[in-house]
A and B are shown apart, each in its own frame.
Chain A
Amino acid sequence: MREDVLRINHVTKKYGKTVANQDISFFVDDGEAAVLLGPNGAGKSTMIKCITGLLRFEGDIEICGKPNKSLEAKRMLGYIPEVPAVYDLLTVEEHLEFIRRAYRLEDDGYAQRLMERFELWDKKDKLGKELSKGMQQKLSICCALLPRPRVAVFDEPLVGLDPHAIRELKEVFQELKASGTTVLISTHMINSVEETWDVCHIMMNGAFAATRKKGESAEQSLEELFFSITEGGEGGAV
């Protein structure tokens, strides 16, 4: 039986008087890929940052049953930010060594396997500042995956990537799913997650405007539904 690896319960996030997320609740099953889809300013990144514990919020977020701010939850979470989190003065290999040491992980060769999988092994001695945006994104993913997280959270992962890097990243989503990792992706590019999503939440003005599960029969395609909501159509929960 599948368990809820990620559970978001009545989360509200306000910046002063501005409500960025309004009473959001959802859960993601073990090995499932959920997508937060919405236009810029819909509140996707804020939701992602609340989940990763970077923002304060009202409500509850649990990762594998642990509050997301707890050290146990942090150990089970991998976060890939929109802007690749890369240190200019560390080599590729040192990034992974740093994460391994900071997370108190023994060297079991997984770092090398990740570098090989993401075609970074031949660049292991290159500094972070010498990498292209696509390579930096790959390194950022390696750093997030090294602690073998149960949940991998991607915030607008495809922005600024070239077509080759986008194709590779889509493959990564599939591989993560296949390995049983729960994936949550925020994006405003519908095409980028077509093959990946199991459940899709369309966000508008800080709230869920619609939720659709893959395989559900519906009159509108996901794209039609998205545009009907974001361009002022009726939309509504599906």
Chain B
Amino acid sequence: MRPLRYLAFTTMKNRLREMVKKPARLIYAIVLLALLVFTMIGGSHTGGAGPYHSMDGLTAIVLAFYTAMFIMTANAGFSRGGNIFNLSDATLLFTAPVRPQTILFYGLLRQMGTSLLVGFFLLFQYPNLHNFYNVTVLQMIALLILYGCTIFLGQVVAMMLYAFTSHDPRRQKLCRVVFTGVYALCGMWLAARCLPFGLDDIGARAAAQAAGKFLYAVPVGGWLSLAAKGSLVGDWGLAVQGVGLCVLLTAILLRLLFRMDPDYYEDVLKSAEISYSAISAKKEGTMREALPANVKVGRTGLRGGWGSSAFFRKHLLENRRSRKFILPANSLLFAVITVIFCVFTKDAGLLPTFCMASYLQLFSAMTTGRFNYELTRPYLYLVPEPALKKLLWALAETMPSMVLDALVIFVPVGVLLRLGPTEFLAAVLARVAFGIVYLSADIAVQRIWGGSVSRVLVLLLYLAISLAVMATGVALALVGGLIWDFGAVGVLLLTVVGNLPASLLVLFLCRNLLEYVELSSR
């Protein structure tokens, strides 16, 4: 264990040193911590007088979130295993005279740390949770730790699934059916218990069902939500049961992993190599996307496009072949969260749900589709067409996704809130306009910093630019809503009136992004 302890501490020490050497990261960390402290203290002193929402509602939200994150993480086991180890581990640790069990334990502990770090942003939800559910700081930290456990267990299950199924396609298919079937059954059971009684009070009914015995039936997500519920309502028996079930599962999985295939190195090596080649390809500016093992070519030919629009036709063709669902997984997850939010805030009308959806969209919209891949190839710069025209056509492929994203959210929201066609269309239009705001902010970040700045700094700048671009739309909506009382439709359309021209102006100002490759690959 001594060499691994040395490795862990030296890595940590070097990271801290790196932070001092690169003050931007240190400043970012300090700003983030200050923001967090401000949020925590500010959140503790606002509201707090009640009446509070039922803890069942919060338990249901936690259940949906934990379960979705667990499924997404564990699902990687069907394609490439977990990413507990990197290629340096595989080449240096696996060949060293250290017991495989010890290395696995080290990898899992390190993964736990990473998961907690990723979940750090959850803490910024504290003011909302404190105001609506009277959640304390300690309970918030408990929710964060349980989130870390969710990702950790997701990785362990992914590794187990990979080791168990990677050599046998039939076994893989069977396991996939069982894995998906368990969660589909849980969802169907919950729907069957809630839907027959109509849409009135569906939120309260779903929360009551989800936060009861149902938690025991949902593997991992449900058990950790049981622990979360225990910490939220002060029932430590529940917390122990939830954690106990997860500890038991982890012990069984690790035991099985050692017994079934003590030489897990081969499986891990493959996934480490895949991750490494993806990282190094990105460093070399030859970003590659994860593609299905067998790409079905199907009908060939671009069948259209002339000049800049050839990029759009090419992107459509590539999308068909990559067999990717038109919406990324995080957009679907945020859509589910928005609909759940709508269930609980039904009485407040459309605007709170729209605000929540736009807030989440800020994080799900940071993908410009094939545009980022295109920036790593020379053709977008070399093709003799005006830069702005190329930029717009290269981004056009994101439009169908934006519209679908809006429909996925506002069709169920429309049913829940019984929206009329005008309100529905206004919501979809405003959602797409916000999508264009975030897209233009993403392009502006590329224009200013290119691709070589740390991800956190990129996120900060992206947030700042997004807020600046949407300022006009939000200001117009506030004026329209508060002073002239335009109603939901008017407010939403005013955001469109403000957001669209501002976004297009940003895109126009960034048009020379495609004139110099160094702007996107510094």
User: Does the CB pair A94–B302 fall under 8 Å?
Assistant: yes
User: Does the CB pair A75–B384 fall under 8 Å?
Assistant: yes
| A234 to B285 CA separation, bound complex (whole angstroms) | 37
A residues 145-161 with Cβ under 8 Å of B? none
Asked if A49 is an interface residue, CB under 8 A from chain B, the answer is yes
A residues 95-115 with Cβ under 8 Å of B? 97-99, 101-104
Contacts of B517 in A (CB 8 A): 49, 54-55
Contacts of A93 in B (CB 8 A): 300-301
Instruction: With CB as the reference atom, state the residue of chain B lying closest to A127.
Output: B295
Q: Which stretch in A28-36, A82-90, A213-221 binds the other chain?
A: A82-90
What are some 28 contacts across the A-B interface (CB < 8 A)? Answer: A49-B517, A53-B382, A53-B516, A54-B516, A54-B518, A55-B516, A55-B517, A71-B384, A74-B384, A77-B382, A79-B382, A83-B286, A85-B377, A87-B314, A87-B377, A88-B288, A89-B291, A89-B317, A90-B314, A91-B300, A93-B300, A94-B300, A101-B302, A101-B310, A102-B307, A102-B311, A102-B379, A129-B295
A-B contact count (CB 8 A): 95
| A78 to B428 CA separation, bound complex (whole angstroms) | 44
Asked if B168 is an interface residue, CB under 8 A from chain A, the answer is no
User: Does the CB pair B307–A104 fall under 8 Å?
Assistant: yes
Q: How many residues of A contact B (CB 8 A)?
A: 34
Instruction: With CB as the reference atom, state the residue of chain B lying closest to A98.
Output: B314
1/0 per position for B297-310, CB-CB distance to A under 8 A? 10011100111101
Minimum Cβ distance to chain B for residue A81 (Å):
6
Contacts of A83 in B (CB 8 A): 284-286
Contacts of B379 in A (CB 8 A): 85, 98-99, 102, 143
User: Does the CB pair A97–B302 fall under 8 Å?
Assistant: yes
Contacts of B381 in A (CB 8 A): 52-54
Most buried by A among B322, B379, B381: B379
Contacts of B318 in A (CB 8 A): 87, 89-90
B residues 265-320 with Cβ under 8 Å of A? 284-286, 288-289, 291, 295, 297, 300-302, 305-308, 310-311, 313-314, 317-318
Asked if B185 is an interface residue, CB under 8 A from chain A, the answer is no
Instruction: With CB as the reference atom, state the residue of chain B lying closest to A83.
Output: B286
Most buried by A among B286, B382, B383: B382
Most buried by A among B289, B385, B386: B385
A residues 53-85 with Cβ under 8 Å of B? 53-56, 69, 71-72, 74-75, 77, 79, 81, 83, 85
| A71 to B390 CA separation, bound complex (whole angstroms) | 13
Instruction: With CB as the reference atom, state the residue of chain A lying closest to B516.
Output: A56
Asked if B515 is an interface residue, CB under 8 A from chain A, the answer is yes
| A71 to B388 CA separation, bound complex (whole angstroms) | 13
| A88 to B317 CA separation, bound complex (whole angstroms) | 12
Contacts of A104 in B (CB 8 A): 306-307
Residue of B288, B377, B385 near A71 (CB, 8 A) is B385
Asked if B420 is an interface residue, CB under 8 A from chain A, the answer is no
Minimum Cβ distance to chain B for residue A153 (Å):
10
| A217 to B327 CA separation, bound complex (whole angstroms) | 66
Contacts of B176 in A (CB 8 A): none
User: Does the CB pair B297–A98 fall under 8 Å?
Assistant: no
Minimum Cβ distance to chain B for residue A64 (Å):
13
Contacts of A77 in B (CB 8 A): 382
User: Does the CB pair B382–A101 fall under 8 Å?
Assistant: no
Contacts of B311 in A (CB 8 A): 102
Instruction: With CB as the reference atom, state the residue of chain A lying closest to B295.
Output: A127
| A88 to B286 CA separation, bound complex (whole angstroms) | 11
Residue of B285, B297, B313 near A127 (CB, 8 A) is B297
User: Does the CB pair B518–A55 fall under 8 Å?
Assistant: yes
Contacts of B198 in A (CB 8 A): none
Q: How many residues of B contact A (CB 8 A)?
A: 36
User: Does the CB pair B310–A90 fall under 8 Å?
Assistant: no
B residues 34-63 with Cβ under 8 Å of A? none
Instruction: With CB as the reference atom, state the residue of chain B lying closest to A104.
Output: B307
| A3 to B305 CA separation, bound complex (whole angstroms) | 36
Asked if A125 is an interface residue, CB under 8 A from chain B, the answer is yes
Minimum Cβ distance to chain B for residue A71 (Å):
4
| A85 to B385 CA separation, bound complex (whole angstroms) | 19
| A129 to B302 CA separation, bound complex (whole angstroms) | 18
User: Does the CB pair A89–B516 fall under 8 Å?
Assistant: no
Contacts of A74 in B (CB 8 A): 382-384
| A56 to B513 CA separation, bound complex (whole angstroms) | 12
Contacts of A85 in B (CB 8 A): 377-379
Most buried by B among A55, A85, A87: A87
Minimum Cβ distance to chain A for residue B142 (Å):
44
1/0 per position for B352-379, CB-CB distance to A under 8 A? 0000000000000000000000000111
Contacts of A125 in B (CB 8 A): 297, 300
| A93 to B306 CA separation, bound complex (whole angstroms) | 17
| A83 to B287 CA separation, bound complex (whole angstroms) | 12
Asked if B25 is an interface residue, CB under 8 A from chain A, the answer is no
Contacts of B385 in A (CB 8 A): 71, 102
| A52 to B383 CA separation, bound complex (whole angstroms) | 11
Minimum Cβ distance to chain B for residue A41 (Å):
16
| A118 to B215 CA separation, bound complex (whole angstroms) | 63
| A83 to B285 CA separation, bound complex (whole angstroms) | 9
Contacts of A89 in B (CB 8 A): 291, 295, 317-318, 321-322
Q: Provided the pairs A74-B382, A75-B384, A94-B317 are in contact, do residues A101 and B305 lie with their beta carbons within 8 angstroms? A: yes
User: Does the CB pair A54–B291 fall under 8 Å?
Assistant: no
| A81 to B517 CA separation, bound complex (whole angstroms) | 13
1/0 per position for B426-441, CB-CB distance to A under 8 A? 0000000000000000
Contacts of A79 in B (CB 8 A): 378, 382
Minimum Cβ distance to chain A for residue B53 (Å):
47
Most buried by A among B289, B322, B383: B383
Minimum Cβ distance to chain B for residue A107 (Å):
11
| A53 to B387 CA separation, bound complex (whole angstroms) | 13
Minimum Cβ distance to chain A for residue B376 (Å):
9
Contacts of B306 in A (CB 8 A): 101, 104
| A87 to B307 CA separation, bound complex (whole angstroms) | 18
Which 6 A-B pairs have CB atoms at the shortest separation, nearest pair first? A74-B384, A101-B310, A54-B517, A102-B310, A71-B384, A89-B318
| A21 to B172 CA separation, bound complex (whole angstroms) | 55
Q: Provided the pairs A89-B321, A91-B297, A103-B383 are in contact, do residues A69 and B308 lie with their beta carbons within 8 angstroms? A: no
Residue of B301, B384, B516 near A94 (CB, 8 A) is B301
| A125 to B296 CA separation, bound complex (whole angstroms) | 11
Minimum Cβ distance to chain A for residue B233 (Å):
51
Apart from A74-B383, A129-B295, list 5 A-B contacts with CB within 8 A.
A54-B378, A83-B285, A98-B379, A104-B306, A125-B300
User: Does the CB pair B378–A52 fall under 8 Å?
Assistant: yes
Minimum Cβ distance to chain A for residue B216 (Å):
45
Q: Provided the pairs A69-B515, A74-B384, A125-B297 are in contact, do residues A88 and B289 lie with their beta carbons within 8 angstroms? A: yes
Minimum Cβ distance to chain A for residue B382 (Å):
6
